[in-house]
Structure 1
Amino acid sequence: MNGIALISFLAVIIAIIAVSLLTSKKSKIKNVAGLFFANRKLSFAAVGCALFFTNVNAAEFLGGSEAAYINNMTTMAWGVSSVFAMVIVSEFIMPVYLRGGINTTPDFLRTRFDNGTKMLVSAIFLIGYMVNLLPIILYTGAVALNGMFRISDVFHCTYFGGIVIMVLFMGIAGGTYSVLGGLKIIAVSDILLGVCLFAGGIFLTYFGLRYIGNGDWSSGWHQLLTTHKEHLNAIGSATDAVPFSGIFTGMLLVNLFYWGTEQVIVQQALSAKNLEMSQKGIALTCCGKLAGPFLFMLPGIIAVHAYEHMPQTIQVFPKLVRDLTPPAICGFIAAIVFGAAITSFSKALNSSGTLFILNIYKPYLIRHRKKFNDGTLLLASRKFETVAALIAILLAPMIIFASSNFYTYMQKANATFSIPIFTVMFVGFLTKKVPPIAAKCGIVFCATGYLLTQFVFQTGINFLHILALLFIATTALMLIIGQFAPMKPVKRPVKVINSYLTPWRRRHWVNALLVAVMVALFVLFSKAGLAG
């Protein structure tokens, strides 16, 4: 472990923590609104950065670089095409949530269907977070930092042992940050990390181009654009990890679920001062996602020119940082990766606590007529988050035995939970006639069908297309049940005053510009552009 890199790493981390603490010290956590929603006072910059770094963790750095190195830039579609989904969420879904006074996305299902559907989806969310989302965040952060600092060499242990050490360290740090800091301090950290991320991306690209250009970055850039051009292609064929047609089928559904119904994401947008700030924040997040190919995939393209063969392709990003950048920059980038992982982990824990307290624990206390106050709920949330963190710490190292293509594995695992929930939410928005029993049947049918097609039967069909087929089949099933057993319409009171619901006046032309840039990126990274 290089001493200068370690000093740089610690200096950046300490500075971010110190500024975050000083900025948020006036916002003391006195109730669940303060812990879970930052008292609903976040600016658009805080919302935008919070949304971006909820999505960005070490998995983006590792997975994006690995995918570009072993194949091409087709996986950039996950981030770039999400802009279209975010535009839809900003325009149509967020006003519904704010108008209904929604705290968690399952709250909508209680309003639309019944409390049983809300409880079922809350349980699915919590299971998904503890066995999938939280462990993945810890694992990818551990892999990245172990690769940059050679933790396994420092402690004279195996590679797996180094991963375990880093998982434990990051789990404790992230859990403490969430339990003691709440959403406000995490949001401030995200703004600082956003500035550092773009600086780190510029540094890594510059030194990477210098390396492959033998000391001349312009020569390296020329080499990048003229050799191994097949890696610059983002228009995937049927054999690629992301076929281009998949963007319009399963990927669109996953992105709509993630940005429109995923509790960790929605909770950041609901913490805004009003609808206008929420929509501005989502637009800012879109800008970050459009920069994703240059931040997360360009290092993999540089690695194609720097390394002819790598036995562990998930090590592409940390090896590139360690080998090609000066120690101070290496420590700086490591701090960004660590910070992104910690804030993502903290927000996922915070959202887990939100779901547990507001959807399970508080209703249980009310149902059994037990006395409670905000202090009781805060204590219970912190205990639950501690347990969730411990479970994630235990499961995270086991991911090392999963798929060789980590990014694809991660997306497949996420789809197990996402599409069943999104389908039920979609039908709930679409019609008022489908009854609660249809929602429950839909969740079970969709989840079972996906697991069977991925782990039991070999269909030979890309999982994105399977997701689209299951979405259509589940929607049809729910609509058929609704025809035979329609639900009686129920009028619900509107809980939110109109001043919160004034939309952003310039959103239409900004959203049009964002979608245009999205299309331009696909043209740029295609055979009609740089890959031609």
Structure 2
Amino acid sequence: MEAFVSFGLCTLLIAFISWYKTKSTNLRTVKGLLLAGKNNGYLIVASSLILTNLSANQFIGENESVYLNNLSVMAWGITSVVAMLLVSEYFLPIYFKGGMITTPDFLAKRYDEDTKRLVSIIFLLSYTVNLLPPVLYGGAVALTGMFHLPSLWGISYWQSIWLLVWLLGLIGSAYTILGGLRAITISDTLLGIGLLLLAIVLPFYGLRYLGKGDLALGLTLLLSKHTSHLNAIGTAQDAVPFSTIFTGMLLVNLYYWGIEQYIVQQTFAAKNLKEAQKGMALAALSKLFMPLLINLPGLIAVHLYAGVENTASIFPQVAADTLPNTLLGITTALVFGAAITTYNAGLHGSSTLFVMNLYLPYLEKKHKTPTETQLVRTAKRFELLLSMIAMIAAPFILFVDSGFYTYLQRVAGLFSMPIFTIIVVGFINQKVPPIAAKIGLLFFMVAYFICEYILVLTIHYLHILAILFLLTVFIMIAISFCYPSKNTKAISINLSHSLVVPWKNRHIVNVVLLILMVLIYIIFSPFVLAS
């Protein structure tokens, strides 16, 4: 009962503060609803980036991977620091100078409106298939395990997943539809504080439980037994081989932090480029500490449980067994909030793409001028439609026979890397024509689908992504030699100068972050802890 009470109080407190801080924002305008009034400072930007990135999928998927393999899965978070710093230095200035609301806006300026529309549709398809349903499913799995709901309610595991998927979906929809991006970013900040505390509390209780009440003994056991699980240098047999860090993983992380709409929109809501860059740096620092929260429970589980049948339940099982009831309730509220905030951001990013890139251009083509009220109403209706689709589809992920987190990343490559490729080529080469972008998109998607789901290849999917990236770049540049683009104008600056002044201390901070990243890898390697 204590766990349920603390869960309810924590969830309601976050919701109340989010509502209170949002009520002064005009949500009847596109700027107010979709860009949070464009008034967020770096602390809110950083919190929004981390909480939008951090969903129950990572709590579930990464701890499962650590239990089954080793710490190599932490590369997704730790090495994302490199991508985040590159995005901060090179991508964000282009976005802010261009006054962009969605990342496909760049494609319209660089290629043409047809390319922008095509990519917007691919984005929406990706969110519908590989973002919104998995987020709901991951949250449902976590809540089911933490509260042991099937036995508590006297229902099956399948029924519990269905009920919780709809609970998460309805609450997430209400947050997004009623509060807009401002409510999302405020709740993200509050949840960020809570997760920071959880990153301290969960290891403490988990290690003490492992040591049967002795924290030092628990830590000693963790570092002295099953040391192969402490290795972050993955082999070819692991979920994340070390070599993939330098190929497909770098590309995927660059796409995620620099192009993925529901992530990048958090920086678009910043007051200016300086605040956005500071927020990205603080978020990068947070990523270096994330293994304490989303990997350590998996390590503890290696010592506590043998032969777990449903490995997706590793994180909730560790939390339920090691935390006091009150803290378990608060932890569940934070995981619940992390699931909802990613779901919110996905819904919000989808409606922004649909309204600004598809619906509004359609009306303009029909020579119709919509009011702000019409656009806002359409955005909310589209969010509701997507939410219904996601809630129906999510429970069926239970029947996926591969590892949950690996499944997500493999499917994501089908949508993300083609978009990333044509945007990067657009950044570096002004002569590539619109037809090359369309051919590049089609080639990459078809080739990746064939390599992953038709052919039986032994090469890791992240290496396949890197190879197809290079092939697609070559094809696009080859086309540009035959049919060079006539539109070679640089993106014009249509924002006031003060909004695009970069953060002057960013280079010093970037070097420190990179050094810390390398040190973490050295510590979790056969040279130190995994010896």
- TM band (smaller chain): over 0.9
1:413 Cα shift? 1.2
Letter of the structure 1 residue corresponding to residue 526 of structure 2:
K
Contact 2:110 / 2:487 at 8 angstroms: preserved in 1?
no
Give deviations 1:168-209, integer Å, cap 9, x for gaps.
110000011000000111111111101111212222211111
Structure 2: unaligned runs, 5 residues or longer: none
Give deviations 1:448-496, integer Å, cap 9, x for gaps.
1111111100111000100000001000010111111111134354211
Matched, 1:170 2:137: no
* Corresponding residue of 1:467: 465
* Corresponding residue of 1:513: 512
Give deviations 1:55-86, integer Å, cap 9, x for gaps.
10001111111111111000100010000000
* Corresponding residue of 2:501: 502
Q: Distance in 2 between matches of 1:213 and 1:100?
A: 56
Q: Distance in 2 between matches of 1:291 and 1:63?
A: 17
The equivalent position to 1:50 in structure 2, one of 33, 48, 51, is 48
The 5 Å alignment of 1:335-346 reads 335-346=333-344
Q: Distance in 2 between matches of 1:208 and 1:301?
A: 10
The 5 Å alignment of 1:423-502 reads 423-491=421-489, 492-502=491-501
Contact 1:303 / 1:316 at 8 angstroms: preserved in 2?
yes
1:324 Cα shift? 1.4
Q: Distance in 2 between matches of 1:88 and 1:200?
A: 29
Matched, 1:390 2:403: no
Q: Distance in 2 between matches of 1:70 and 1:309?
A: 10
Partner SS for 2:295? helix
The 5 Å alignment of 1:39-438 reads 39-438=37-436
1:430 Cα shift? 1.1
Letter of the structure 2 residue corresponding to residue 385 of structure 1:
E
Letter of the structure 2 residue corresponding to residue 505 of structure 1:
K
1:153 Cα shift? 2.5
* Corresponding residue of 2:528: 529
Partner SS for 2:131? helix
Q: Distance in 1 between matches of 2:206 and 2:92?
A: 41
Contact 2:49 / 2:266 at 8 angstroms: preserved in 1?
yes
Partner SS for 1:424? helix
Q: Distance in 2 between matches of 1:107 and 1:275?
A: 17
RMSD: 0.9
Letter of the structure 1 residue corresponding to residue 193 of structure 2:
V
Give deviations 1:286-321, integer Å, cap 9, x for gaps.
011111111100110011111122111110000111
Contact 2:210 / 2:303 at 8 angstroms: preserved in 1?
yes
Letter of the structure 2 residue corresponding to residue 6 of structure 1:
F
Partner SS for 1:362? helix
Q: Distance in 2 between matches of 1:383 and 1:211?
A: 48
Contact 2:431 / 2:488 at 8 angstroms: preserved in 1?
no
Q: Which of 148-157 and 236-245 deviates more?
A: 148-157
Q: Distance in 2 between matches of 1:513 and 1:201?
A: 22
Q: Distance in 1 between matches of 2:492 and 2:268?
A: 19
Partner SS for 1:488? coil
Contact 1:403 / 1:409 at 8 angstroms: preserved in 2?
no
Partner SS for 1:102? coil
Give deviations 1:212-258, integer Å, cap 9, x for gaps.
11110111011111111100000011111111110000000000000
Give deviations 1:32-62, integer Å, cap 9, x for gaps.
1111111110010000000011110001111
